[in-house]
Amino acid sequence: MGLWSFRGGFAFLAALMLMLLVVGGSSCVFAADGTEGDARAAIAEAKNRVADCYRAVADAESAGANVTGLLNALNEAGMLLSRGYLAYNVGDFGSARDFAVWCSGNLTGVVNEADALKQTAIQERYWDFMVNVVGSAVGSIAIVCGGFAVWFFLERREKSRGNAK
């Protein structure tokens, strides 16, 4: 019985150690694979985010917004993404992931800010058009029409004065 329990305990310990080795080994494999996968996923996400932000900023700029600040943020993020690509290519997946996450983090709120600037620019452009184009065109037409009106009024008054004399 004692021998059985000793054998059983030994077998249990051996099985436990084997299990730990297998689990440990496989987790190491998974960790290495996961790090590369994580890096790849983080870089892909950062790349998409940079592209999304660029599209939003370009739209804001074409609407007439001043996007200098947003372009600075994009340039910084672009450099981080480049560093991420470089680290990934040399197999430094941890750094690659860190750079990609840093890049994505730097772009938080850029799309919203670009959209807000775009809306402001659209409104400003509308009022600019109304005042400077429509307003000035209507104003100049009004001056010409007013000139005619004044001229006819003065002419009529002169005629009526001439008739009275």
Partner 1 sequence: MRLKAYGLIFWTVVGVLALLVASPALSRILVYPRTEFFTELGILDANHRAEGYPFNISRNQNYSIFLGVGNRLGYCAYYVVQVKFRNQTQPAPTSFGPIEERVPSSLPSLFNITAFVADEEAWELPLTFSFDYGYNETLSQVEFYGLTLNDVVLDMKGYTINWDSEKRGFFGNLFFELWIYNREISDVSKFQYHGRFVSLRFNMTVWGLS
Q: Which region among 2-10, 19-27, 33-41, 53-61 touches partner 1 (by CB under 8 A)?
A: 53-61
- Secondary structure class of 6 (helix, strand, coil): helix
Question: Rg for the chain (alpha carbons), in Å?
Answer: 37
How many Cα atoms sit within 13 Å of 55 on the Cβ side? 5
**Alpha-carbon span 124 to 70, nearest angstrom:** 19
Residue 109 within binding range of partner 1, rule CB under 8 A: no
Interface with partner 1 includes 22 (CB under 8 A)?
Answer: no
Contact string 69-88 vs partner 1 (x = CB under 8 A): --x--xx--xx-xxx-xx--
Q: CB under 8 A: which stretch of 23-31, 34-42, 117-125, 142-150 binds partner 1?
A: 142-150
How many residues does this entry show for the chain? 165
CB of 136 to partner 1, least distance (A): 4
Q: Does 136 bind partner 1 (CB under 8 A)?
A: yes
Name, in order, each residue with C-beta under 8 angstroms of 113's C-beta and a sequence gap of 6 or more: 70
Q: Are 57 and 67 in contact (CB under 8 A)?
A: yes
Q: Is 53 helix (H, G, I), strand (E, B) or coil?
A: helix
Asked whether position 124 contacts partner 1 by CB under 8 A, the answer is no
Judged by beta carbon, residue 34 or residue 135, the one nearer partner 1 is 135
Q: Distance between CA 125 and CA 131 in Å, rounded?
A: 10
Q: What's the closest the beta carbon of residue 124 comes to partner 1, in angstroms?
A: 15
Residue 40 or 83 with smaller CB distance to partner 1: 83
Residues in the interface with partner 1 (CB under 8 A) total 40
Query: What is the spatial distance between Cα 81 and Cα 120, in angstroms, rounded to a whole number?
Result: 30
**Which residues bind to partner 1, rule: CB under 8 A?**
50-51, 54-55, 57-58, 61-62, 67-68, 71, 74-75, 78-79, 81-83, 85-86, 90, 131-137, 139-141, 143-144, 146-147, 150-151, 154-155, 158
